Chain A
Amino acid sequence: MSGFIREREAQILTKGRDDFDLVGGKPSLAGSVSQRACVFCGSRVVLYPIADALHLVHGPIGCAAYTWDIRGALSSGPELHRSCFSTDLRERHVVFGGEQKLYQALTELIDKYRPQAAFVYATCIVGVIGDDVQAVCRRVERQKGIPVIPVMAEGFQGSKKDGYKVACDAMATLIGTDNSKELPPYSINILGDFNLAGELWMLTGYYRRIGVGILASLTGDGRVADVRNAHRAALNVVQCSGSMLHLAKLMKAKYGIPFIKVSYFGIEDMSEALYEVAKFFGREAIMEKARRLVREELGQLLPALEPYRKALQGRRAAIYVGGAFKAISLVKALRLIGVKTVIAGTQTGNTEDYRLLKAICDDGCIMVDDSNPVELSELVRQTGADLFIGGVKERPIAYKLGIGFCDHNHERKLALAGYEGMLNFAREVHETVCCPVWKLVRSEL
């Protein structure tokens, strides 16, 4: 088995040997065992954490069933987002149209649950049979008096990344529709944190400690009212810029809200995020508090990391995650605990992202775009990686290869953001890399 597809030459390179730029953003080759998903998936994962909204999937049952409670996005209140609502389209609807069914489902649902808003996801087939989802949404919105927002997420229109944009467009229609929320002083919106394992709550804590208030979180532990008020914040702080940068740009154009791009993963990036926000407000008091916070946190964290760093020194990691910013943060965080990144790949990075990623990787690191299991396992073999960092589909592959694995995708159960998160991460890497089971793999009867 060759394992490598010739057409993908521009999508794999070794730093220090190849001097071309890694090409990202290419559509997957038909027939590849791609690890990528679709537009619907992208829009669904971004909007999913808005917990007091209805999320109705208009299409055959599958699209709703596969996205039913699969995100570890926690809510401090309502849990409506964790149920699965579908119009469950059947053949007769495909022939005669599904608008009537959508209308019925939507009104039944709103009567039953009294949500703050409703998102209606249009899936592949809806685009093809030509249901006018937008018209149905407008009609129900008029009748029920809550925002009913069409999310035009036909899967075939691109990859997951294009779905992020669709989600941002959907949210943009909500933003600016209410002014009643009390505005905290020095208020920011957090964009692109999904409150996996309660990470948002940690971040909110940090910001509060430096005197900065959160107006809206888009979308972790999200609430419709917060989204509607989000246009009133002084600053948008965008994490995971793959998913929410588009919304930040829209808000800048429409409401003049500036934005900064941050990452909360790893101590350098986390501290930088706090400093950047402090710098924006231009208040020495905030900056001083930020410095103190970083000092305090690092004072506790660094000694705690030391045993892990010693144990992990010289180990090698393969990263294959959704977006390039996550990969960049991971390379830095791994370096902090003595682990060298030997493979860095993403599903949705673009050429510019890869230039940044390349800059921080060590020589010899193999970079790869839109990879597949055969390629990844061959690269792991070549580089002798001890650890794989990826998502649900990569986990069993890593285990079959007899190496450790950390979930860095939306199903993870461990908070990895901030200083606490860094310690969690070190512990998780240690647990999996040093697990005695890998010795059993190589032992014989």
Chain B
Amino acid sequence: MLLRHTTAQEVERKALTINPSKTCQPVGAMYAALGLHGCLPHSHGSQGCCSYHRSALTRHFKEPVMAATSSFSEGSSVFGGSSNLVAAIETIFTVYEPDVIAVHTTCLSETIGDDLTQIVSKAHEDGKVPEGKKVIFCNTPSYVGTHITGYSSQVSSFVKFFSAATPKKRNVVNLVAGWMEPSDMREIKRIARVMEARTILFPDMSGVLDAPLTGKFEMYPKGGVSLSDMAATGDSKFSIGLGAYSTEDACVKLENKCKVKFEVVEIPIGLKATDRFITSLSRHANVPVPDELTEERGRLVDLIADNSKYFYGKRVALFGDPDTLIPLTEFLLTLDMKPAYIVTGTPGKHFDESMQALLAEQAPEARYKSGERADMFQLHQWIKQEPVDLLIGNTYGKYIARDENIPFVRLGFPIVDRPGHNFFPHTGYVGATNLAIKILDKVLDHTDRTCAEEKVELQM
């Protein structure tokens, strides 16, 4: 009983966060920056921040994660980090030779008031930025937003610094990727390819954080959206943002800057969200939906039908990021399961409104919460009050799953105790199939293990 302290009875908490379902902005900025080819993320703050973010990403992806730090000292915190950043830019371009440095701030550099616009222009004036190289930046104070907003800010900075409109529009659709796995991005690109739609996906961590083992260490692996593609997003005729929290801001910026119209849909997790994504892509790229995808959809429907009795009425608790939870909740309802408790540390009205709309008819008794103190402690207390049949979330859910003896499906960030998220996507019909099978596996394994001996069934 690792969480034996958790009680069913809720005591009002005013100040305390216990076992959060979120982390801070900079790690999101670092993750997104890795989706630009040849880019070195740079953490402007104490060296611990950079080290923590790299470790957190490394544990999840089991891949080298490269990022530099301004290595703040006591002096920098008093006199400002300007000289640290200028020196860092020089060191990075001399030693690590990236095409782009993507600087993000931290709570420390924000609070002491470092002005990145001014510091970076000083680096240019001092000749520290070689010809053809770029330094981009975004503001990610840790005391604002969460890792999701940090991700969003970084994606917006790509638009701000690279997207350019030339007089010639191209028949291309931008796909702005919300926080998802590289495997999910790979699957979305496959769908676009099957549809013969011309797209640019950004950021793109596939090929960066799921690179093959070759016997050589690549500081800048093959993947990532190229700078020329990123520039060309300004000439695309439309953008589809996948996940409102992590991409809407970038879409708006791109429309304002380059007049590229956009639509934001959910990350295509589950059947209906995938339907909407494919419909949107089909319309805006002006391509038909090929049989290959229709058949994938059909196979998914077939799987759901075959197993509907095992999904029926199962109560599910889930936690994680809003852009994932919204389509995931919808998919659980598609499966005829009952989302019971939903928690995200990332605040925002969109989550509450979406949940309200999704759950009103099929699961009106469901409880959901976002923002401060919407943490795993809260979730666990709810579970103790009335149990669930399944838990879905990141690795930190394993303690609750173990203590309450609930089947547990890992989905989200971070997953540090199982592989798989890098190989089996959750997006598209294929991803939904993977997810449905994973849920069935966990639920039925649990039944097999815990049911009365005479009830063990061979055929299910």
- Taking Cβ atoms with an 8 Å cutoff, the residues of A that contact B are 1-5, 27-41, 59-70, 79-80, 82-91, 93-94, 101-105, 108-109, 112-113, 123-125, 127-129, 154-160, 373-374, 377, 392-393, 395-397, 399-402, 441-442
Docked-complex contact B111 and A94, CB < 8 angstroms: yes
Chain A residues with CB under 8 Å of B112's CB are 128
Closest B residue to A60 by CB, please name it.
B142
CB within 8 Å for A397 and B18 given contacts A30-B91, A65-B23? no
Q: Is the CB of A1 within 8 A of B51?
A: no
B94 cross-chain contacts in A, Cβ below 8 A: 2, 5
B174 to chain A, nearest CB (A): 30
- A33 and B20 contact, Cβ closer than 8 Å, known pairs A61-B146, A108-B14, A157-B74: no
Known: A85-B17, A156-B74. A125 touches B108 (CB 8 A): yes
A-B interface, 10 closest residue pairs, ranked by CB to CB distance from nearest: A38-B48, A62-B24, A31-B88, A31-B91, A104-B15, A60-B142, A155-B46, A402-B215, A66-B52, A65-B23
Q: Render B181-192 as a binary contact track against A, CB cut-off 8 A, 1 for contact.
A: 000000000000
Contact of A392 among B2, B55, B218 (CB under 8 A): B55
Asked if B3 CB lies within 8 Å of chain A CBs, one says yes
Instruction: Please classify the interface of chain B as helix (H, G, I), strand (E, B), loop, or mixed, using the class held by over half of its residues.
Output: loop
B64 at the interface (CB under 8 A from A): yes
Stretch at the interface among B65-73, B162-170, B256-264, B385-393: B65-73
Given contacts A33-B69, A124-B108, 13 further A-B contacts (CB under 8 A): A31-B92, A32-B68, A39-B46, A63-B52, A80-B5, A84-B20, A87-B16, A88-B20, A94-B143, A125-B143, A129-B111, A441-B213, A441-B214
* Residues of chain A within 8 A of B55, CB atoms compared: 66, 70, 392-393
Q: Can you list 26 contacts pairing A with B, beta carbon distance less than 8 Å?
A: A5-B91, A31-B42, A31-B92, A32-B71, A34-B51, A34-B69, A37-B47, A38-B47, A60-B143, A61-B23, A62-B142, A79-B3, A82-B2, A84-B18, A89-B107, A103-B15, A108-B15, A124-B46, A156-B45, A159-B47, A373-B66, A373-B219, A393-B55, A400-B213, A400-B215, A401-B215
Minimum CB–CB distance from A406 to chain B (whole Å) comes to: 16
Contact with A along B27-71 (1 / 0, CB 8 A): 100000000000010100111111111111011001111111111
Q: Which residues of A contact B53 (CB under 8 A)?
A: 66
CA distance A160 to B40 in the complex (A): 24
Where the two chains meet, the residues of B that have a C-beta atom closer than 8 Å to any C-beta of A are 1-5, 11, 13-20, 22-27, 40, 42, 45-56, 58-59, 62-74, 76-77, 84-85, 87-92, 94-97, 106-108, 111-112, 141-144, 146, 211, 213-219, 345, 372, 396, 399
| A124 with B107, Cβ < 8 A, contacts A30-B84, A34-B69 known | yes
Closest to B212 in A: A400
- A125 near B111: Cβ-Cβ < 8 Å: yes
Residues A93 and B47 in contact in the complex (CB < 8 Å), given A31-B88, A397-B217: no
Distance from A113 Cβ to chain B, minimum over Cβ atoms (Å): 6
Contact B51 A61 (CB under 8 A): no
Q: Separation in Å of the B145 CB from the closest CB of chain A? A: 9
Q: Check B20–A29 contact: CB distance below 8 A.
A: no
**In the complex, A82 Cα to B50 Cα: how many Å?**
23
| Beta-carbon contact of A27 and B73 below 8 Å | yes
**Interface contact B24-A38, CB-CB below 8 Å:** no
Given the interface pairs A30-B85, A101-B15, A105-B15, the reply to whether A62 lies near B46 with Cβ below 8 Å is no
Q: Of B11, B46, B111, which is in contact with the most chain A CB atoms at under 10 Å from its CB?
A: B46
Q: Indicate whether A402 sits within 8 Å of B213 (C-beta atoms), given known contacts A62-B23, A65-B22.
A: yes
**Smallest Cβ-Cβ distance to B66: which chain A residue:** A33
Q: Please tell me which one of the listed residues A68, A79, A102 contacts residue B396 in the complex, with CB atoms under 8 A apart.
A: A68
**CB atoms of A400 and B217 under 8 A apart:** yes
Per the bound structure, the CA–CA distance linking A103 and B14 in Å amounts to 11
A128 touching B77 by the CB < 8 A rule?
yes
Chain B residues near A160 (CB-CB < 8 A):
48
Instruction: Please give me the residue from chain B that is nearest to A69 by CB atom.
Output: B396
